[in-house]
A and B are shown apart, each in its own frame.
Chain A
Amino acid sequence: MDEAIIDKLLIIAGVLGGLLLVAPGLIWLERRLLALWQDRYGPNRAGPFGVLIVLADTIKLFFKEDWIPPFADKFVFVLAPGIVVVTVLMSFIVVPFAPGVIVSDLNIGMLFFLANSSLGAYSIILGGWASNNKYSLLGSMRGAAQMISYEVFMGLAMMGVVLLSGSFSMHTVVEAQKDMWFVIPQFLGFVIFFIAGIAETHRLPFDIPEAESELIAGFHSEYSGMKFGIFFVGEYLGIILISAVTVALYFGGWLGPDFLPPLVWFSLKTLGFICFFILLRASLPRPRYDQLMEYGWKILLPLSLLNLVVTAGVVLVNKGI
């Protein structure tokens, strides 16, 4: 076989395996970090520092009754959890982990990422719809509205980076940050992108589709066993994805001092953002649904448009002179 193909296959296997190993590990990390910030210990019994809790959780999920409610739309019900994992994993195709370590350096990488994260909304909508449960439906409707509206600002915020680097390819974007990370000229863009990213992964404080205190877990309240587990893994994959894309777009991706290899730099920065995600969960309360929409359309949309216009103007002036 061609050496290039083997290389690609190795990268695909590495990315897939790495992600599917890290995603459950995040469950442990999240529980430990939440505990740390709440002056507790968290899981610390099974294995060193309680890492084996992940294994215990998985075994537990496998042995739980995988129940499909008789009133559910069975085919869609089974399909829905898969969609979130598939779309998130598809998005990772365009994430540059290190020079050369990228599954496919598409020239429309960012559009591909946006498209896939929009498709992820289907998982919530279909899951809530197929459950045939009013709370699930409410959750999925909220989720749909939230993800579609925050998608807008996410795209607009990313356009600032596109203007500065002149490319939709994430690889090129990272290369363009050799002199200065884009977080400095695009700070507003970064903040908007990150907020939209939290909403996109429907993580706390924007976990409105789930909202266990009002919607009893929202769109996945009818799910049990491994189907619920897959929703869970999808959510953690989403966290990794948003963190990785934030790092690639605004924090110089794999760039860093030479004493560590590029892949390690990328992983460290991503880990930092994952921890920040968990810190957000530990500290912020959930906004009301209408507050979330208002915040998005009345504040973030004008801000992101302003950011886009100013960036475009600056780029234009620099080019003209």
Chain B
Amino acid sequence: MLSIVRSLWLVFLHMFHKRETVQYPEQKNKLTTRWRGRIVLTRDPDMGERCVGCYLCAAACPVDCISLQATEDENGRRYPEFFRINFSRCIFCGYCEEACPTYAIQLIPDFEMAEYNRQNLVYEKTELLIDGPGKYPGYNYYKVAGLAIGGKGKGEAENELPPIDVKSLIP
């Protein structure tokens, strides 16, 4: 009997406690920088598209929500002709970000993407591509890759030695 009165009193005291509710639209929770939300395609510091159209993200995606078509520009540099993410399927697992070899695809701390029309959840490249490097400033895939491309020859990449003449025995 006493325990009933005690629990009544303890619950009554909760009147003077701070409320836990976050009044969402006015008051927002802080999302951490690694929060997995909306997916974006980033650009390198020289404003070129980072995506090289390798299809690794589409292959890694467990729900098959990414579709793209790779193509090449006049310098032989690969880029996606179209890049489409169906966010009504996306489960925000982040596997595409893990699979991406060029840091092109990234998940950012934003989740407010509700739509009245389901079709509007299919994002094309125009919606996905942002004008910035995202989480990896200063990284340019083509500047560190050993690939000869677009005016950059073999051995001209960052931290790269000149190519070895394989036909010579001199060190």
Contacts and interface: CB of A to CB of B under 8 A. Distances in A.
Interface of A: 36-41, 279-280, 282-284
Given A279-B8, A283-B7, A284-B4, A41 B23 contact: yes
B34 interface: no
Q: Is the interface of A mostly helix, strand, loop or mixed?
A: helix
Contact of A37 (B4, B15, B18, B21): B15
B115 interface: no
A283 B8 contact: yes
A37 B7 CA distance: 12
A116 to B, nearest CB: 29
B73 interface: no
B146 to A, nearest CB: 59
B12 interface: yes
Given A36-B14, A37-B14, A38-B14, A284 B21 contact: no
B20 A39 contact: yes
A40 B8 contact: no
A279 B10 CA distance: 11
A280 B10 CA distance: 12
Interface of B: 4, 7-8, 10-12, 14-15, 17-21, 23
Contacts of B4: 284
Contacts of A282: 11
A39 B8 contact: no
13 contacts: A37-B11, A37-B12, A39-B14, A39-B20, A40-B19, A40-B21, A41-B19, A279-B8, A280-B8, A283-B11, A283-B12, A284-B7, A284-B8
B10 A283 contact: yes
Contact of B20 (A40, A279, A280): A40
Contacts of A284: 4, 7-8
Nearest to B11: A283
B19 A39 contact: yes
B134 to A, nearest CB: 36
Contacts of A37: 11-12, 14-15
A275 to B, nearest CB: 10
Contacts of B21: 39-41
Contacts of A280: 8
The 3 closest A-B pairs by CB, nearest first: A283-B11, A41-B21, A37-B14
Contacts of A38: 14
Contacts of A41: 19, 21, 23
A278 to B, nearest CB: 10
A141 B168 CA distance: 100
Contacts of B8: 279-280, 283-284
Given A41-B21, A41-B23, A36 B7 contact: no
A284 B3 CA distance: 10
A215 B147 CA distance: 70
Contacts of A36: 14-15
A37 B20 CA distance: 11
